[in-house]
Amino acid sequence: MIEFFHTKERLRFLLFVGAIATPILLVSAWVVSSMESSAAAKGEPNDKGGLHYRIQEKSGAKELPPALAALVAVPPNTAMTDVSVDTDGAGRVTSAAVKAFSTDDFKTVAAFYKPTLAPVTTDSAASLEGVRDGYEIRISHEKKFFDNDPYKDRTKIEYTINPAKK
């Protein structure tokens, strides 16, 4: 096989083909990746008859899924970088997990949400839990950072949202 490329013409041909194919492959990979990310952000069908939303943006989600946006707003100086939401057939949230990073401290972020929760069931230095519109919402200050976390110098906040138990 290697003997095939011993002549200069054949080697030039190989380099010519490589010079043409490489940009085409790179652009194709980028287009496919963008399309997959876009589809996940718009929602993909799940096993509950609803949609599964997955948004991963280092600079923060530009727009939250409608069902989640009705429950939580994005506080100032905060970027929701990893959003995973499942809805049922009626468009109600069945579960949601969100990772966010804020330049503010956790106390400021908790103060932003505290008036929207009624009743507040837990209010500590590292966690705020309460009920809103029939959902249990937990907002916690996470101290542990992972390698894939986009920001290490900000306050890491995790949200967990589930329907309230009756």
- What is the pLDDT at residue 114? 95
> CA–CA separation, 64 vs 55, rounded Å?
8
Cα 160 to Cα 78, 86, 96, 153, 164: the distances in Å are 16, 12, 6, 22, 12
Phi, psi of 68 (to 5 degrees): -75, -40
3-class state of residue 93 by DSSP:
strand
Cα 159 to Cα 72, 103, 152: the distances in Å are 9, 17, 18
Token pair in block for residue 1: 């096989």
The model's pTM is 0.73
- What is the pLDDT at residue 37? 52
Share of the chain above pLDDT 70, in %: 92
131, 80 contact by CB (below 8 A): no
- pLDDT digits over 103-162, tens only? 999 999 999 999 999 899 999 999 999 999 999 999 999 999 999 899 999 999 999 999
**Which has more pLDDT, 39 or 31?**
31
